[in-house]
Amino acid sequence: MSVTAACGVGGAEGSAAEGQPKRTGKVSGQITFRTLQLKPNFTAYVQGVIDAFEKKYPDVKVTWEDVPGDGYNEKLVADAQAGGLPDVVNLNTDSFQLLGDRGMLADVAELDPKVAKEYVPGAWDQYKLPGKRDGVYAYPWYVTPEILTYNKELFADAGLDVNKPPTSVEQFFDYAERIAGASGGRYTAFMADPKGRLPGDWQKMGVPILNKEKNAFVFDTPKAVEWVQRMKKLYAMGAMPKESLTKADDLAQLYGAGKLVFGPGSPGILKDVKRNSPAAYGKTQVAKAVTGKLGHIGIYTQSLGVRKDTKHPDAAAEFAKWVTNGPNQVAFSKQVTIYPSNAKGLADPYFADQGDGKDPETMARTVGAEELKSAQLDANTPVEWTTQVGDAVVREMQKGIRGEEDATAAVKNAQEAANKILAQQKKRQ
């Protein structure tokens, strides 16, 4: 039974005939708000945002619940089936697809026809769904962009110019080959981590991920095969820690110990390096992310969806917009290394201040914020690339990189497995 059918979407008060809630102009009612792992570290911040909203709209009462990350998607499905989905709910990529594809989220572009311009285009566009035209099914919340960090001392030790970081995947592999050749096993170039590298690396190499209709994966191309072949060669040369092919090693620890040239691709991890490995932190250079043929970066966002059959669409929409407005997102960004999806928030002077131009964390903030202004939808992981799809692809890539399977066969088998999963997902809708 589909989740949509099970929870009876569209039958509640406030729903239009087609299921989309209609605003009445009256912001009132009791709504529920669910977040993902924000207590206890950010309790004061979130409660402050809620209190300010209730002060502005005294006819609204917000009930906040925070849940752990383990089993989050399963809980969403269970709640949806029981008709207990919160009015405003924090979504990651997987949970957005889970609810969005099943028609359980309100079209916020219809609820708020003028709100699109308030958000960074790449973040706003990320919440469109295939076949839904211009509908947008969640308000973008906090964002993390890619950056490039590297140990400039080891970079120079390998004979590379510290002021000329790689700009394409192919060049990144060229550099890694030089690093492996020069290090003599004292350090490695980068973490293998196929799960983290795909599908981003392929997109930057010009590999199409989905067909035009977005109903089939089409990444089985010579370029994808080339990616496997180069990874296999680098792995054999010792350009990456052997164990990083199959498990998630502590990147910050290895980088902090001076065992890795390319460090965190997420600005947030620099805090750990700064706190635990000041020597490595002092040798860190920050640059724009590798973009390759894509020309722009991947961005990773959290969002706030509005339950499609909410009884209080005005209150739910205004609250989601309130949480994701510029001032509230800037205040959140000053407590943790995240970035606003809100365009006015991103324009705050805090994100342009380079300090003395030497502190890696400060430079990461300015580099990341600048990149976000031009980030595009197709630099992101498409919603069809679910955790299940990613795991299936990675299993084949691991075989290819270890040499247990021919690179051509690995890519072919990965695409077949991914399309089988995609077909099953479509059938369940």
Three-state DSSP class for 92?
A: coil
The rounded percent of the chain whose pLDDT value lies above 90 is 65
Going by pLDDT thresholds of 50, 70 and 90, the confidence category of residue 391 is: very high
Q: Do 228 and 400 contact (CB within 8 A), yes or no?
A: yes
Crossing angle of the two packed helices 72-81 and 93-100, in degrees rounded to 10? 20
Q: What is the DSSP letter of 206?
A: T
Residue 297 to residues 146, 168, 361, 377, 379, Cα–Cα distance (Å): 6, 11, 19, 9, 6
Three-state DSSP class for 71?
A: coil
Phi and psi angles of residue 289, each rounded to the nearest 5 degrees, phi first: -65, 155
pLDDT single digits (tens) 337-388: 899 999 999 999 999 998 888 899 999 999 999 888 877 755 667 778 888 9
Token pair of 335, please? Answer: 């407590």
Domain regions of the chain by residue span: 29-145+299-374, 148-296+379-427
The rounded radius of gyration (Å) of the Cα atoms in the chain is 22
How many other CB atoms are found less than 10 A from the CB of residue 256?
24
- Tell the CATH topology of 148-296+379-427: D-Maltodextrin-Binding Protein; domain 2 (3.40.190)
Separation of alpha carbons 265 and 396, rounded Å: 24
Residue 251 to residues 182, 183, 384, Cα–Cα distance (Å): 21, 18, 27
Q: Does residue 392 have a pLDDT over 70?
A: yes
Token pair of 87, please? Answer: 């009015």
Of 71-75, 158-162, 312-316, the poorest mean pLDDT is in: 71-75
For residue 70, with 0-12 CB atoms within 10 Å meaning exposed, 13-18 middle and 19 or more buried, which class applies? exposed
- Tell the CATH topology of 29-145+299-374: D-Maltodextrin-Binding Protein; domain 2 (3.40.190)
Separation of alpha carbons 70 and 248, rounded Å: 17
Separation of alpha carbons 76 and 70, rounded Å: 12
Separation of alpha carbons 156 and 83, rounded Å: 59
pLDDT single digits (tens) 129-151: 877 778 999 999 998 888 999 99
pLDDT at 184: 92
Of 5-19, 217-231, 323-337, the poorest mean pLDDT is in: 5-19
Token pair of 405, please? Answer: 């399977």
Phi and psi angles of residue 356, each rounded to the nearest 5 degrees, phi first: -90, 5
Residue 206 to residues 52, 145, 337, 401, Cα–Cα distance (Å): 46, 20, 30, 20
